[in-house]
C-alpha cells in the first residue's frame, strides 16, 4: 500500500499541471451537468412494503383524488368575532375560491361544508387536496400555496399548513461560519496563509465535485432533501481533515531538510495510507445505510459516501500536485530560512506522558463519566418531524399551533383507514364496523366517514387522535387501531391504516428494528479493515468499544437537549420533542466512520513507532505526541463545520449538526486522545499481538511505510514532531 501511494504521490508532484488540469475538467464537467440536467430533491419519507405505504400505493389506483398530497389552511376570525359573521364568512369564501385556483389543487373544501369549525366558532380548517404527492409537486405550486398567507385581512387570519408547506432545507450563510472557523484553525496550526489556503481550497474542490455529482444524479434517482446537507457537512469536514493530515506530515519532513519531491511522495505514502483507511471506514459506514432497505436513507448514505470518497481522491492526487506548486511556501517564513529544524516536544508529548502515567485512573474516570452521560439514551423517542417541531414563526408551525389550540393536537395528524372490497355493499358494511371499533379506542376524539371510489369498492374513514402526530400515545393508537380493525376483514376485503402520521410510525418502527443488523454489518466490516491495517486483534476491538462509549454519551446529550429540553432554548429549540426517526442510524454511521478516522490517524503513528523498535509505552507517547496537534486541529475543524449547521432553522439539520459536533469532540478528545493511549499503555506489547495463523492468511498492506523506509532510507527519517 505504502509503495503504491508513494508512486502516486511522486507522479502527482511531477505531473502536477496534468493532475490539476484533469481535476479542473472534471469539476467543470460535473458543474455543467448539475446545472443543465440536475433535478429536484424530495422532501418526503416513506418505506416501501409497510402497511401505510401499500395503502397509499393502492389509493393511487383506486382513489387517485385521495392519493395526492393533502394540506390544511387554517382560518381564524379576529378577536370578538366568529367565522359566521357576514364579513368574516365572505372572507372565508374568497379564500376557498382562491385556494381552488392554485396550480395542481384538485379541490378545497369550505369549513362550513366539512363542519371543520371549532366549538367557539372562531377557527376553521379548509381541507386542500393536491393532484400529486408532495415530492412530485412543482416548486411553483408549493410556493403559490405558501403565499396563501397573503390573503389574510383585518377580517380573517389565513395560514397555510400541512406537508406541502416549506420546501427542502437550504444552505445559507450560517454554514459559512463553520468554514471561517476552520480557516482560522488552519492558519493557527500551520502558521502559513499559503498552507491554510491550499488545504481549504482542496477541501472545497472535493466538496464542489461531490455536490455537483449529487445534484446531477437527482435527474434519475430520488434524493432526500437532507442528503445534500449531510454530504456538505461530511465533505467539508473530512476534506479539510485529510488534507491537513497529509500536509502536516509533509511540512514536518520539509522542515527537517527532506527534498520537496521525496517529502510529498513519503507524506502521501504514510499519512496518505492512514487517510485511505480512514476514508474507507467512513465510506463503509455510510454505504452500509443501504442495508436498512429505506430508499431515502440509502440515497442519503450513498450521496455522503460518494462525497467522502471524492475527498479521499482529492487528498491523494490533487493535494500532492498543489504541494508541488507552492513548494517551500507551505512552511512559515521563519522556518524556510533555516536548513533544518530540530525535533521539539510540544504539548502532545506532555499530554501523552500524563495520560500514560495515570492510565488506570483515567480509564476508570473516562468510562464512568461517559456512562453517566449515556443514561438519558434509554428515554430516547423517535418520530418523523411534524408542525410542532417546525421553527417558531413559520407557516407550518403557526398553522399547527392554531389547529391544536382550536381542535386538539390530533387534528394535525388524522389517521386514515382504507377499506377495500370487490363489493360496494361489503365495503359499506365494513366502514360501519370500523367506525364502531375506532370510537371505542383510547385516545380517539372523532371518527368520520371519508370519500370513496366511484364504484364504492374503496372507502375511507378518518380517525382523529387526541394527541399530536409525533406523540407516543398516537403511536400506540396506530397499533391498537390495527389490532382492532384488521380482524374485521375477510375474504376479498382488506383494511389498512395510512396517512402521514401512520407513515411516520411505520418509518420509525422500521428504522429501529434495522439498527442491530446495521451495527453488526458495519462494525464487523470495519473491524476487519482495522485488523488488516494494524495487524492486531485487540486494537480494533478497543476502537469498537471506544466508539460505543462515544455514541452512548452523544445520544444521551442529544436526548437531553432536544427531547427533554435541557438548555434547548440556547440552540433556538422552543418545542422539544422526539428525535427524528433516522437520526440514530445516521449518527451511528457518520460518527463510527469519523471515530475510525481519529483511531487510524493516532494509532497508525503509534504502530509506526512500535514497528521501528520503540517500547510499547514510548511508541504510544511518541505516536500521540506527533499526532496530537494535527488531530486536535482536525477535530476542532470538523466540529466547527458541523456546529455551523446548528444555526439552520430546519429541526432535522439542527439536531444532526449538534449530535455530530458533540460526538466528534467526545470521540477525538476523550476517547481517542485520552482513553486510547491509556488503554494501549495498559496492554503494552499485547496490544500488537497477532496470532501466527491469522498473520499467514492476512494480506500485508504496510500502512506505516515500513517497507518504504527499509528500501530507501533517508537521513531525515528520524523521529520528528510537527513544527507548526
- Per-residue pLDDT tens digits for 460-498: 888 989 998 888 899 999 999 999 999 998 888 899 998
Q: Are 591 and 660 in contact (CB under 8 A)?
A: yes
Mean pLDDT, the chain, integer: 84
Provide the 8-state DSSP code for 612: T
* CATH 3.30.70.1430 location in the chain: 414-498
Considering the four listed CATH numbers 3.30.70.1430, 3.20.20.70, 1.10.1740.110, 3.40.50.720, the one that applies to the domain covering 414-498 is 3.30.70.1430
Q: Quote the CA–CA distance of 695 and 532 in Å, as a whole number.
A: 10
**pLDDT tens-digit readout, 202-225:** 888 988 888 888 888 776 666 666
Band (720; pLDDT cuts 50, 70, 90):
very low
CB neighbour list of residue 528: distance below 8 Å, 6 or more residues apart? none
Residue 174, pLDDT score: 60
Lowest mean pLDDT among 21-25, 142-146, 624-628, 701-705: 701-705
CB neighbour list of residue 159: distance below 8 Å, 6 or more residues apart? 73, 74, 75, 76, 149, 152, 395, 398, 399, 402
**Cross-strand pairs, 383:** 580
Question: Which pTM was predicted?
Answer: 0.80
Provide the 8-state DSSP code for 156: B
Burial classification of residue 81, based on how many CB atoms lie within 10 Å of its CB (0-12 exposed, 13-18 middle, 19 or more buried): middle
**pLDDT tens-digit readout, 649-683:** 778 888 988 999 999 999 999 999 999 999 999 99
Amino acid at each position: 500500500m505504502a509503495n503504491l501511494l508513494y508512486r502516486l504521490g511522486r507522479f502527482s508532484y511531477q505531473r502536477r499541471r496534468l493532475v490539476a488540469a484533469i481535476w479542473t475538467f472534471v469539476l467543470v464537467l460535473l458543474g455543467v451537468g448539475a446545472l443543465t440536467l440536475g433535478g429536484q430533491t424530495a422532501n418526503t419519507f416513506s418505506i416501501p412494503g409497510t402497511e401505510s405505504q401499500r395503502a397509499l400505493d393502492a389509493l393511487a389506483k383506486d382513489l387517485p383524488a385521495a392519493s395526492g398530497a393533502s394540506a390544511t389552511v387554517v382560518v381564524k376570525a379576529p378577536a370578538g368575532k366568529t367565522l359566521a359573521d357576514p364579513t368574516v364568512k365572505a372572507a372565508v369564501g374568497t379564500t376557498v375560491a382562491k385556494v381552488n385556483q392554485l396550480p395542481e389543487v384538485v379541490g378545497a373544501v369550505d369549513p362550513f361544508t366539512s363542519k371543520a369549525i371549532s366549538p367557539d366558532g372562531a377557527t376553521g380548517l379548509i381541507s386542500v387536496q393536491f393532484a400529486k404527492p408532495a415530492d412530485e409537486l412543482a416548486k411553483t405550486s408549493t410556493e403559490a400555496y405558501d403565499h396563501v398567507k397573503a390573503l389574510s385581512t383585518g377580517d380573517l387570519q389565513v395560514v397555510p399548513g400541512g406537508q406541502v408547506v416549506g420546501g427542502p432545507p437550504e444552505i445559507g450563510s450560517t454554514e459559512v461560519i463553520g468554514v471561517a472557523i476552520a480557516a482560522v484553525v488552519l492558519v493557527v496550526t500551520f502558521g502559513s496563509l499559503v498552507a491554510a489556503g491550499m488545504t481549504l481550497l482542496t477541501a472545497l474542490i472535493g466538496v464542489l465535485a461531490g455536490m455537483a455529482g449529487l445534484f446531477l444524479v437527482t435527474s434519475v434517482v430520488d434524493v432526500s432533501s437532507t442528503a445534500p446537507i449531510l454530504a456538505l457537512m461530511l465533505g467539508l469536514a473530512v476534506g479539510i481533515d485529510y488534507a491537513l493530515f497529509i500536509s502536516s506530515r509533509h511540512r514536518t519532513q520539509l522542515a527537517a531538510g527532506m527534498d520537496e519531491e521525496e517529502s510529498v511522495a513519503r507524506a502521501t505514502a504514510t499519512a496518505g495510507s492512514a487517510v485511505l483507511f480512514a476514508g474507507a471506514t467512513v465510506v463503509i459506514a455510510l454505504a452500509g445505510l443501504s442495508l436498512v432497505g429505506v430508499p431515502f436513507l440509502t440515497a442519503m448514505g450513498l450521496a455522503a459516501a460518494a462525497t467522502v470518497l471524492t475527498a479521499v481522491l482529492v487528498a491523494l492526487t490533487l493535494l500532492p500536485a498543489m504541494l508541488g506548486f507552492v513548494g517551500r511556501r507551505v512552511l512559515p517564513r521563519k522556518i524556510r530560512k533555516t536548513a533544518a529544524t530540530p525535533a521539539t516536544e510540544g504539548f502532545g508529548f506532555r499530554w501523552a506522558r500524563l495520560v500514560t502515567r495515570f492510565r488506570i485512573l483515567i480509564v476508570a474516570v473516562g468510562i464512568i463519566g461517559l456512562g453517566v452521560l449515556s443514561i438519558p439514551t434509554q428515554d430516547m423517542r423517535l418520530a418523523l418531524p411534524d408542525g410542532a417541531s417546525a421553527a417558531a414563526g413559520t407557516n407550518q408551525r403557526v398553522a399547527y399551533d392554531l389547529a391544536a389550540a382550536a381542535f386538539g393536537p390530533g387534528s394535525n395528524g388524522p389517521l386514515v383507514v382504507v377499506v377495500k372490497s370487490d363489493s360496494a355493499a361489503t365495503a359499506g358494511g365494513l366502514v360501519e364496523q370500523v367506525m364502531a371499533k375506532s370510537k371505542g379506542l383510547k385516545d380517539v376524539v372523532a371518527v368520520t366517514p371519508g370519500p370513496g371510489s366511484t364504484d364504492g369498492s374503496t372507502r375511507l374513514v378518518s380517525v382523529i387522535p387526541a394527541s399530536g402526530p409525533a406523540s407516543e400515545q398516537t403511536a400506540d393508537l396506530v397499533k391498537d387501531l390495527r389490532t382492532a380493525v384488521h380482524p374485521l376483514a375477510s375474504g376479498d376485503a382488506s383494511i389498512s391504516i395510512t396517512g402521514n402520521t401512520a407513515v411516520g410510525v411505520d418509518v420509525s418502527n422500521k428504522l429501529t428494528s434495522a439498527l442491530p443488523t446495521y451495527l453488526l454489518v458495519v462494525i464487523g466490516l470495519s473491524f476487519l479493515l482495522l485488523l488488516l491495517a494494524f495487524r492486531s486483534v485487540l486494537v480494533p476491538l478497543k476502537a469498537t468499544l471506544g466508539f460505543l462509549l462515544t455514541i452512548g454519551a452523544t445520544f444521551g446529550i442529544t436526548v437531553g437537549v432536544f427531547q427533554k429540553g435541557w438548555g434547548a432554548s440556547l440552540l433556538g429549540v422552543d418545542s422539544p420533542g422526539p428525535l427524528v426517526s433516522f437520526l440514530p442510524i445516521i449518527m451511528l454511521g457518520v460518527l463510527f466512520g469519523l471515530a475510525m478516522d481519529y483511531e487510524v490517524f493516532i494509532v497508525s503513528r503509534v504502530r509506526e513507532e512500535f514497528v521501528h523498535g520503540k517500547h510499547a509505552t514510548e511508541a504510544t507517547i511518541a505516536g500521540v505526541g506527533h499526532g496530537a496537534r494535527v488531530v486536535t486541529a482536525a477535530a476542532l475543524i470538523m466540529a466547527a463545520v458541523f456546529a455551523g449547521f446548528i444555526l439552520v432553522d430546519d429541526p432535522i439539520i439542527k439536531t444532526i449538526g449538534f449530535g455530530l459536533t458533540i460526538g466528534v469532540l467526545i470521540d477525538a478528545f476523550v476517547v481517542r486522545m485520552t482513553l486510547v493511549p491509556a488503554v494501549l499503555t495498559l496492554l503494552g506489547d499485547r496490544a500488537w499481538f497477532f496470532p501466527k495463523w491469522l498473520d499467514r492468511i492476512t494480506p500485508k498492506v504496510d500502512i506505516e511505510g515500513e517497507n518504504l523506509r527499509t528500501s530507501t532510507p533517508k537521513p531525515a527519517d528520524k523521529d520528528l514532531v510537527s513544527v507548526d
